[in-house]
Homo-oligomer: A and B are copies of this chain.
Amino acid sequence: MTERTPSRRTTATAPPAFPKPGHNHARCAAEALGKAEAVCAARGTRLTEIRRQVLETVWQSHVPVGAYEILAQLNAGGGDRPPSQNSRALTARGGPPSQNSRALTARGGRHAPMAVYRALEFLMDNGLIHRLASLNAYIGCAHLGEDPHAAQFLICRRCGTTAELKSAALNRALDQAVTERGFTIDSQLVEIGGICPNCRPNHRRPKS
């Protein structure tokens, strides 16, 4: 790999900045929902009410969200949820002891876990969300409308914010290292944990 010289030319892809704390996230979500509609229309699949609700919940932030947390939000009244704190990626699952999930399945909420998992499956099948195996959680796809793609993720262990990376160089390196061993890739899972630029203000930036 050559040295990265910060050339002024805007040749390559635009700088995919890590999601910043103050950004207009309502716009992220609105755009994502809009594109999701388009994707489903193009594919002839139906973005039903519950699927849309789950997708909205996933897009409430750039922090991955677990299936049962989605369920809780749906059952707590769906749309006008309070800006609840991230419960993942922090050391503890702070907060009051969650309700008994078995009780929820019986009666008490409007939806059972199956409803959420089915919606998540649909959204993944249609390339609208990704699952993060290291967290057992889900996040909206940052490259909607593109073909199903292998993605990499950067997960901040402090704030939980997760960015989707689509590095061609990384994919090349991966492909080469693997092919050398006679292996044929079907799927890849790349999840990088660490500290994001927002959580380490005095980080060394590639000065531009």
A residues adjacent to B (C-beta < 8 A): 1, 4, 15-18, 133-134, 152, 154, 156-157, 163, 165, 167, 169-170, 172-174, 176-197, 200, 203, 205-206
Q: In the assembly, how many copies of this chain are there?
A: 2
Q: Which residues of B contact A178 (CB under 8 A)?
A: 154, 165, 192, 194
Q: Which residue of B lies closest to A169 (CB)?
A: B173
Query: Which 5 residue pairs of A and B lie closest in terms of their CB atoms, listed nearest first?
Result: A182-B197, A173-B173, A167-B177, A187-B193, A133-B133
A67 CB, nearest partner CB in chain B, Å = 15
Q: Which residues of B contact A18 (CB under 8 A)?
A: 181-183
Taking a contact as CB atoms under 8 Å apart, the answer to whether B180 and A15 are in contact is: yes
Q: Please give 13 more A-B residue pairs, beta carbons under 8 A apart, in addition to A167-B177, A172-B173, A189-B191.
A: A1-B173, A1-B176, A152-B177, A154-B178, A170-B170, A173-B173, A174-B192, A182-B203, A183-B197, A185-B193, A188-B191, A189-B193, A190-B190
Q: Which residues of B contact A205 (CB under 8 A)?
A: 182
A73 to B43, CA, bound (A): 47
Majority secondary structure, A binding face:
mixed
Chain B CB within 10 Å, residue with most, of A152, A156, A184: A184
**Pairs A–B under 8 Å by Cβ, sample size 16:** A1-B176, A15-B180, A18-B182, A163-B183, A167-B173, A178-B192, A179-B206, A182-B206, A183-B194, A184-B194, A184-B203, A185-B194, A186-B194, A187-B194, A188-B193, A189-B192
A167 to B177, CA, bound (A): 7
Question: With A169-B173, A174-B192, A189-B191 as given contacts, are A181 and B15 in contact (CB-CB < 8 Å)?
Answer: yes
